[in-house]
């Protein structure tokens, strides 16, 4: 792994204090750690950051202690140590910043830090890095299991006290609120267990579902669970604000869920019974194309207007989707879809909706 250095334009005003607060928060983070067998490249990189901090404070420790501290297996820790020993910078390729006693590690399972020059300095962050940290901490503070953690507020205050050369460092981002069900879901994900919950779909129908949870995401101010639906036998998105009474089942997720490697970031997952709708969108509504995994039909390079097709499983839902973009998205066909959007607008204006034409 090769890491580029970033110009240090922010210094934390009290490095020792921030290290203590960081350690407290990371002890809680350990519980949120995804299964190492299912970690992607970003998860593995993010694991290296707290690992460096841990080894800085514990230069002589055991492999089993590190694995236990972070809730991962020893093989995964060994792989991370190998990565650290090959870390360099663009400016200094021939220098190794992290060295460990390999014989002690192999023979006795002891991690002994020989060299760690780069982690001895006080933390220095760019404005972008500090903003990313502040945004992440803000999101953590909205989670039920962190709602009473004063250490997060103290860390945010420490970040805001840093001096920068390019404007304020901290950008606070807060997605919509979620309830305690998310703690149940996350625990089930860590245990590779199935969940059961009461769920209300976009038609307003309520049913009890069993879902194999795979990932939690936010889109705007809405939280989603990406999970394998046992009813439809495929990957689906479930809104957390439509979910209730979640419980973890002592049942391992199915083999089909385990085989899912790449999860589409699209908000809506299409199926064979969906209706194809042709839309025209301005740049302000481009995000809709990603949300619905749109197929581009044509693009006007002068006006930047894109014509594309999207899949809709429940046509009455389309009116709300199009209205969200305030005129930047328009339905071209079929006629039934255009009428749904028109009726939605009429209802919003307090007028009587019109009859729907025959679906084509």
pLDDT of residue 359: 42
Helix axes 150-161, 15-32, angle to 10 degrees: 140
CA distance 212 to 158: 39
- Confirm if 84 and 118 have CB atoms less than 8 A apart: no
| pLDDT for 281 | 93
- Length of the chain in terms of residues written: 360
Give me the residues paired with residue 218 across strands: 223
Q: What is the full per-residue pLDDT of the chain (360 aa) written as tens digits?
A: 334 333 333 344 444 444 555 555 454 444 445 555 556 677 778 888 888 888 888 889 999 999 888 888 888 888 888 888 776 544 555 556 677 888 888 889 899 887 655 545 555 667 777 777 777 787 777 666 666 667 777 877 777 765 444 444 445 555 555 566 788 888 898 888 999 999 988 778 899 999 999 988 877 667 888 899 898 888 888 888 889 889 999 999 999 888 876 666 555 666 667 889 999 999 988 888 877 878 899 998 888 899 999 988 778 888 888 988 888 999 999 999 999 899 888 888 888 776 544 443
Q: Do residues 169 and 130 touch, judged by C-beta distance below 8 A? A: yes
SS3 192: coil
Domain ranges of the chain: 15-161, 181-258, 275-348
Collapsed DSSP state (helix, strand, coil) of residue 275: strand
Topology given in CATH for the domain delimited by 275-348: Alpha-Beta Plaits (3.30.70)
CATH architecture of 181-258: Roll (2.30)
pLDDT recorded at residue 11: 41
Between CA 130 and CA 114 the distance in angstroms is: 29
Residue with tokens 């919950």: 197
- Whose tokens are 């501290």? That residue is 69
pLDDT of residue 347: 87
pLDDT of residue 3: 41
Choose among 186, 187, 189, 182: nearest CA to 241. Answer: 182
The burial class, CB within 10 Å (0-12 / 13-18 / 19+), for 60 is exposed
Cβ atoms of 343 and 335 within 8 Å: the answer is: no
Equal fold, 181-258 vs 275-348: no
pTM for the model stands at 0.47
Spatial distance between the Cα atoms of 274 and 270, rounded to a whole number of angstroms:
6
């Amino acid at each position: 792994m090769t890491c580029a250095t970033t110009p240090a334009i922010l210094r934390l005003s009290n490095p020792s204090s921030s290290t203590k607060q960081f350690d407290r928060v990371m002890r809680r983070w350990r519980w949120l750690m995804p299964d190492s067998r299912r970690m992607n490249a970003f998860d593995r990189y993010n694991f290296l950051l707290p690992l460096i901090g841990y080894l800085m404070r514990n230069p002589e420790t055991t492999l089993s202690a590190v694995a236990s501290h972070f809730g991962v297996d020893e093989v995964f820790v060994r792989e991370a140590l190998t990565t650290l020993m090959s870390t360099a910078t663009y400016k200094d390729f021939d220098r190794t910043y992290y060295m460990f006693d390999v014989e002690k590690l192999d023979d006795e399972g002891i991690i002994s830090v020989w060299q760690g020059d780069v982690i001895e300095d006080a933390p220095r962050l760019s404005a972008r890095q500090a903003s990313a940290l502040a945004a992440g901490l803000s999101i953590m503070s909205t989670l039920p299991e962190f709602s009473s953690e004063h250490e997060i507020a103290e860390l945010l205050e420490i970040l805001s006290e840093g001096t920068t050369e390019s404007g304020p460092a901290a950008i606070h981002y807060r997605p919509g609120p979620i309830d305690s069900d998310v703690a149940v879901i996350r625990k089930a994900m860590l245990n590779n267990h199935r969940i059961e919950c009461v769920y209300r779909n976009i038609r307003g129908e309520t049913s009890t579902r069993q879902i194999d949870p795979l990932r939690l995401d936010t889109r705007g101010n809405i939280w989603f669970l990406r999970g394998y639906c046992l009813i439809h036998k495929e990957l689906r998105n479930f809104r957390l604000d439509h979910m209730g009474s979640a419980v973890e089942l002592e049942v391992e997720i199915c083999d089909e869920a385990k085989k899912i490697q790449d999860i589409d970031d699209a908000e809506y997952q299409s199926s064979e019974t969906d209706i194809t709708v042709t839309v025209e969108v301005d740049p302000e509504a481009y995000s809709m194309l990603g949300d619905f995994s749109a197929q581009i039909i044509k693009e006007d390079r002068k006006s930047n207007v894109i014509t594309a097709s999207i899949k809709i499983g429940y046509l009455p839902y389309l009116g709300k989707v199009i209205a969200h973009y305030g005129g930047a998205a328009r339905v071209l066909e079929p006629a039934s879809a255009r009428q749904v959007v028109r009726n939605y607008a009429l209802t919003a204006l307090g007028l009587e909706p019109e009859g729907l034409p025959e679906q084509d």
